[in-house]
Amino acid sequence: MNKTVIKNKLKQESFVPSKKMGQNFLLSNEIKNKIVNVANISKDDLILEIGPGWGAITELLVQKTDTLVAIELDKRLYAHLKTYIKAPNFHIINNDVLCVDLDKLILDYTNTKKNQKIKVVANLPYAISSKIVLKIIQSKLINDAYIMVQKEMAERIGAKVNTRGYNAFTVLVQLFCKTKILFQVNAKEFHPQPKVQSAVIHLENLHNKVDFDIEQVSKFLRICFLNKRKKLKNNLSNIYDIKLVNEMFIDYNLDMNLRAENIEPKMFLELFNYLNKSNNE
């Protein structure tokens, strides 16, 4: 579907995109093709699309893979896609992705092909994109995600240590994934046009063998970045005994003046384990 077709269909069906659901439909054929191409999809891959919307990317994905599974919350769009995409390899679920066990869903449609990879390819609803990213990175089965998000979020996810955008969310995502910003997308390529610019990013799941409680680590990271301009040890001493914090800095040979933005993701996990192990002894 091109820009004119999409706009006409929306008008004909009196479809008003939901602001609450963060619905902004991609119009550009060039961008749609670019997203699908960078995902490097093979027929054996299982593709998961979250928030397919009007089906702009869906109609391309269904031609690339033997198994396409889509999750759509909006009942209107779910009904539209059931009619519009009539292919035996297309499966759509009418549900809230935040309530779906992604790995269980994937297992329902996976096969025994040795080369099968599980990839997410999607233009995420911006209103809940951070929550969706957290679900994706915790999957034990998803190999890669090629997702469009708000440009500001993409920059946070891909931020490097010692840069302004580096924060608690950055660290949490990078503990699970390798991240890369692939390209930017202008707001004019959507209907309705959002007030923000967008970007497509690649998340390569590392499938960490290190087991940790994501809720506890997330809370720890928020403490570390509570005041970015304060020294890390001062932020930590709000929760942990200052003597223990100082001992940790000495044991790890860390500069007492370090701020959270100076610490690599993996080191945060070591510091978390050190402080919480000592607290429990």
Same domain? 112 vs 179: yes
Report whether 24 belongs to an annotated binding site: yes
Q: Which two tokens stand for residue 218?
A: 């997330």
Q: Could you report the per-residue pLDDT of 153-173, keeping only the tens digit for each? A: 999 999 999 998 999 999 999
* CA distance linking residue 115 with residue 55, whole number of Å: 27
Which residues span the domain enclosing 70? 3-205
The CATH code of the domain that includes 259 is: 1.10.8.100
> pLDDT digit string (tens) for 196-255?
999 999 999 987 666 788 999 999 999 999 987 889 999 999 999 999 999 999 999 999
pTM of the model: 0.91
Distance CA 218, CA 223 (A): 9
Would the annotation count 51 as a binding residue?
yes
Domain termination site, one of 148, 175, 205: 205
**Looking at the structure, do residues 154 and 63 belong to the same domain, yes or no?**
yes
123 is in an annotated binding site: yes
Q: Are strands 25-26 and 190-191 parallel, antiparallel or unpaired?
A: antiparallel
72 marked as binding residue: yes
Determine if residue 33 is labeled as part of a ligand binding site: no
